[in-house]
Structure 1
């Protein structure tokens, strides 16, 4: 139908059909995800022995009751429902054969990472190395089945190397694994990872739509819809957690859309997308630096020193009533993270159309992250911009324990 409208020059009818199709993709994903979430919660008495997050005393834990960690099943179900169900209702209007096949293939490539995460959620015995290898396998599958590899980084001297397929695949796999783990790292408070991914996918989807890439806009909306359906029962009180399975699935989905956006659209700058993804990426890189360089510990070891964790301890618990409304302190963290990411996304769309502008946005977020992190650790703004303090060359003299 879309091809017919184009051939007849009916521009207004074309956009009306596309808008209706995009809305239906979103609605189907929301309803499918919400339905699976509701079933998950309603049946928790039977599967809770396996799915509950029993470790409420863990170093990163802030919840005080057991909650199922199997929300990832709803997220994956919400996405796959679009090509399987919505595509069979009005396939010629809003989800053509190419979009349907691409969505299914991308979903299949996410399976290794998703299954490894779900296995960890249920058994709590899947090693970090095995999960890392599973995400890597998903990235390599996407490069093979969808051609999802970065053709450029918009960085002088490196783009020429990416013309070599092995180098391009290696760099892409590294980036996808990093972003996937980054989403998992920022997960830990109600609504944080889910809302972050919704905003990121909205930014990527809009950039693709602006370039005329309807297919990737559809993929972004499917991911957004599935996540919104999950958030309806996750935020603000946390009736269901996405777990590692959900975090890996969403992180992989967003990362691969970014890779495909660069590969398919010359008008989209790589650094522009990095400006959208900056918060979780900075979080994972700074966490590795903090653990490995400053503390000489295992880079994957859990701790309570992420920026969002410090915000919870230093601001949310002090400004909000922890005893009267304990869920409000947890939910307040999402307000901080979403404000950051939404501001960065809007700025990237408006001012990231050049390499210089996008680089400036990334640099601004790095400096802002470090300064705010130092402020939360030290309890005041003094020397927060001192490079010696930032890089751990001088003691931080933290006010809080």
Structure 2
């Protein structure tokens, strides 16, 4: 090789992406998901302890296994166990250990041993507290002057961090309805965080996040578009826990990263959850009571009413995810672009909040009109 070419090669950046970790994580996740689906297919529906098709918020027609979280956690544990010589092994293990309380409680719920929302939120709090105790990291700043002064007091900072962690973990659970929606949201968030970590020189965090992303892909190939398996409470809470506390660790080790950039990565789960809380309070209903008025559910019902008909749920479900995902991805892309521009990231967050609320309000206004129009069309067809 000529000297100038050799110098050019040496000057090129080297990305030591952990392909062995990613391949192992993907393979174990996909294989475990497949085995769970096969096992579930052999179980008689009557013997199941829970039937989610009867739930108010159900978006699928047939009983479907909710053990996707088990596949994800097994994949990550196997990867960690076989990668003990890596530099970031300790961080990876501590992160997984901290997720065990919320995983166990979520898995019990998925298996039909119902745990109340209060118990699941308590388990998420315990998992967050374990991360703080093991890693010694929490939210240090928000970019809001008054709040940042309060965060100088460690007890308040820890409590605030736990509040955010529990909220985001629960938020991922709320969007686990449509085929692919929670999975693609988790995948995009992991990749966005991995990109920011790489830009900040945090290769350990990047590698862990890429490993999580690979496990999510192994699950997604069975979740989208046909919905053969869902994350369930264990998967949704665990993935929310892992991603949020990795974002906290990135902010702790790279203070120049904008906190609003981190919030943009989790914009969709946060916005959907806050809207659900406000909606239920306005209607005088318990905050924990499920409904069918989430953004993605309105999109699916709109597709059924206007284009597909109510008997085309198998098509409307994944199609609604495709319509919703651009709204999910856009804030994450902006977060990566303005990861170190606090002013731009803050303005982007406000802009996306306005767009989200305006779009949802418009959908709620149009939905009754579409329903009446569809009913009139059905009546005319029947009388002709």
Distance verdict in 2 for CA 1:327–1:158, change over 3 Å: same
How far 1:31 sits from its partner (Å)? 0.5
Q: Please list, as runs of the form range in 1=range in 2, the aligned pairs for 1:242-253 lying within 5 A after superposition.
A: 242-253=231-242
Q: Please list, as runs of the form range in 1=range in 2, the aligned pairs for 1:1-400 lying within 5 A after superposition.
A: 15-16=14-15, 18-19=16-17, 21=18, 23-45=19-41, 54-85=51-82, 87=83, 91=85, 95-96=86-87, 99-292=88-281, 294-315=282-303, 318-320=306-308, 323=311, 326-379=313-366, 400=371
The separation in 2 between residues aligned to 1:368 and 1:129, in whole angstroms, is: 32
Using structure 2 for the length normalisation, give the TM-score: 0.89
Give the gaps of 5 or more residues in structure 2. 1-8, 373-384
Secondary structure of the 2:146 match is coil
Do 2:25 and 2:211's aligned partners in 1 also have CA atoms closer than 8 Å?
Answer: yes
The separation in 2 between residues aligned to 1:152 and 1:12, in whole angstroms, is: 36
Using structure 1 for the length normalisation, give the TM-score: 0.85
The separation in 1 between residues aligned to 2:290 and 2:10, in whole angstroms, is: 53
The separation in 1 between residues aligned to 2:305 and 2:198, in whole angstroms, is: 40
How far 1:327 sits from its partner (Å)? 1.9
The alignment covers a number of residue pairs equal to 363
How far 1:154 sits from its partner (Å)? 1.6
User: For residues 96-139 of structure 1, what are the alpha-carbon distances to aligned partners after superposition, in whole Å with 9 as ceiling and x for unaligned?
Assistant: 2xx11111111110011111111111125211111110000001
How far 1:219 sits from its partner (Å)? 1.5
Distance verdict in 2 for CA 1:209–1:243, change over 3 Å: same
How far 1:24 sits from its partner (Å)? 2.3
User: For residues 69-109 of structure 1, what are the alpha-carbon distances to aligned partners after superposition, in whole Å with 9 as ceiling and x for unaligned?
Assistant: 11110011122222212x15xx4xxx32xx11111111110
The separation in 2 between residues aligned to 1:356 and 1:256, in whole angstroms, is: 23
| Backbone CA RMSD of aligned residues | 2.1
Distance verdict in 2 for CA 1:314–1:195, change over 3 Å: same
Do 1:196 and 1:337's aligned partners in 2 also have CA atoms closer than 8 Å?
Answer: no
Secondary structure of the 1:15 match is coil
User: For residues 188-212 of structure 1, what are the alpha-carbon distances to aligned partners after superposition, in whole Å with 9 as ceiling and x for unaligned?
Assistant: 1111001001001111110010010
The separation in 1 between residues aligned to 2:145 and 2:178, in whole angstroms, is: 39
The separation in 1 between residues aligned to 2:233 and 2:217, in whole angstroms, is: 18
Give the gaps of 5 or more residues in structure 1. 1-9, 381-396
How far 1:322 sits from its partner (Å)? 5.3
Farther off after superposition, 167-176 or 36-45 = 36-45
Secondary structure of the 1:300 match is coil
The separation in 2 between residues aligned to 1:316 and 1:150, in whole angstroms, is: 43
The separation in 1 between residues aligned to 2:190 and 2:118, in whole angstroms, is: 28
Farther off after superposition, 73-82 or 312-321 = 312-321
